[in-house]
Amino acid sequence: MIDPNAKDLVVGVVGCGAMGQGIIQVALQGGLRVVAYDARAGGAAAGRDAVLARLDRLVEKQTLTTDAAAAMREALSVTDDIADLAPAGVVVEAVFEDIEVKRELFGKLEAVVAEDAILASNTSSLPIGSIARSCKHPGRVAGLHFFNPVPLMRLVEVIKGPATDPAVVDALVTIGTRFGRTPVVVKDSPGFLVNMGGRAFTTEGLHLQHEGVATPAQVDAVMRDCGHFRMGPFQLMDLTGIDVNYPVSMIVFEQFLNDPRLRTTPHHRALFDAGRFGRKTGQGHYRYDAKGTVIDPPSADHATDAAPASVVHVATPNDQALDELLDRAGLSSRADDGAMPIVAALYGEDASGFCARTGTDPRRLVAVDTTGDTSKRVTLMTAPSADPAHRDAVAAAFVKAGVAPTVIKDSPGFILQRMRAMIANLGCEMAQIGLATPADIDLAMKLGLNYPLGPLEIAKEMGVARTHAIIAAIHDATRDPRYRPSLWLRRRALLGLPVHATG
């Protein structure tokens, strides 16, 4: 077994495209010697030149010293002969996603490197077990999955295949740390951790659109303003490219044997088939100019010239969050006079279901989402038969108070509750199947996708019992197995345990 802490450890990198270049750079910045190989004639040299150019820019920005850059130049060598990888203690493969190509490559590497060298794949979608199955020593094969752009993304997933030696996993954790990354150990599974966990954010946004509940602009605004996500799901899909996120969504969905939790929508496929990939093509969920700026960005704010309401009847009394929100909007609660707007804070329930259950007048009910940050934006929802005058009067009160109202169609869980409950539920399911530890699931999703909180942390913030109640209510309303609660979440909610509790 190699010593992952050895000062003279040599790292081999196979494939000198964008990902390979990033891996080369972080290995050099970690003080390691690198031998880069590419099967394309001149490919390794081109990759080297691109890496060195980036290092020169870091020197110009004074984030890297001239001496350090010179040392990195000396530590990097390139080759067109795979036999020159023989001194490498660890080889990281970063070629394109073709299982047969990778198997053939790993066979060639085994014939070159020492028997105790580690062979790691940067694959983002292919099972490590499938790559290792034809190797003579499958125990030394693992995944080392970096994220693009590698120098900026701190996370690296260390994937333990079915035959991977635990010592190899430990060694890759050390090596990943030496690369300046934050390693998270993940079980070999479709999409690994981040690509699987990220399905909830994008696909639930798509389902809200598919059901006619909200527009992409409304979903994005609520997730930014109320959920503190850096961008909404539709912005994210347009940024990464529909040509990337649709195929990944389908790969993960199909490899999990069509689990409804991972199902996308026909509109997602329609954009892909139409070549509307987002910013790179000028049109996706939004339209873009040549600089990537949205053309005529649609508003998520409800426009009304109605007179603001001053009094309402509260149908869900003793809800502190609702009381505080109404107070900020200057809305006083009174006994129902049969003509005033009725306001209710709902959790997982839709307006129609609440009215049917309680006998509340659906024409006057305005449901309010009190979860998340309501300082800038509040989400309002009405039943299909609602009188818009009551909705507009309540919305106008929020506008007067400086809070932007987003008005959506009836939906169990509004926008934010549905989105966060789905993210939390999928995170709990990843913990249930042992994909990674609960803490590492949270860490990986924050580092890999810039989430403000990890999935299980979201459940903790919302309250484990409330998170379970919301997802269970959505499941009851829709009868869609997509929303079935994870047993991990259910058991901890029933027993009053912390969501991170193991055992």
**Residue 269 belongs to a domain with what CATH number?**
1.10.1040.50
pLDDT band at 503 (very low <50, low <70, confident <90, very high): confident
Question: How far is the C-alpha of 407 from the C-alpha of 164, rounded, in Å?
Answer: 52
Of the three residues 145, 161, 188, the one that is the final residue of a domain is: 188
pLDDT band at 230 (very low <50, low <70, confident <90, very high): very high
- Conformation bin of residue 296: beta by default, left when phi > 0, alpha when psi is -120 to 50: left
Q: Do both 274 and 335 map to the same domain?
A: no
- The residue-averaged pLDDT of 19-37 equals 98
Peptide bond into 485 cis (omega under 30): no
Q: Do both 168 and 257 map to the same domain?
A: no
Q: Do both 329 and 393 map to the same domain?
A: yes
Range of the domain at 67: 10-188
Of the three residues 373, 408, 443, the one that is the final residue of a domain is: 408
Handedness of CA 160, 109, 252, 202 (dihedral sign): positive
- pLDDT score recorded for residue 334: 97
In a domain, 163, yes or no: yes
Q: Do both 41 and 149 map to the same domain?
A: yes
Q: Do both 21 and 161 map to the same domain?
A: yes
Q: Do both 267 and 332 map to the same domain?
A: no
Find tokens 């023989």 and name the residue: 86
Q: Do both 87 and 204 map to the same domain?
A: no
- pLDDT score recorded for residue 474: 98
In a domain, 421, yes or no: no
Q: Do both 216 and 175 map to the same domain?
A: no
Q: Do both 14 and 146 map to the same domain?
A: yes
In a domain, 415, yes or no: no
> Across-strand partners of 33?
10
Percent of the chain surpassing pLDDT 70: 100
Of the three residues 154, 188, 222, the one that is the final residue of a domain is: 188
User: What's the structural domain count of the chain?
Assistant: 3
Q: Do both 340 and 404 map to the same domain?
A: yes
Give the global pTM. 0.96
In a domain, 213, yes or no: yes
In a domain, 216, yes or no: yes
Looking at every residue in the chain, the average pLDDT score rounds to 97
In a domain, 367, yes or no: yes
- The residue-averaged pLDDT of 134-150 equals 97
Q: Do both 172 and 256 map to the same domain?
A: no
- The residue-averaged pLDDT of 286-306 equals 97
Residue 86 sits at φ, ψ, to 5 deg, of -55, -40
Question: How far is the C-alpha of 472 from the C-alpha of 493, rounded, in Å?
Answer: 11
- The residue-averaged pLDDT of 480-497 equals 98
pLDDT band at 1 (very low <50, low <70, confident <90, very high): confident
Q: Do both 156 and 181 map to the same domain?
A: yes
Catalytic amino acids? 124, 145, 157, 195
In a domain, 433, yes or no: no
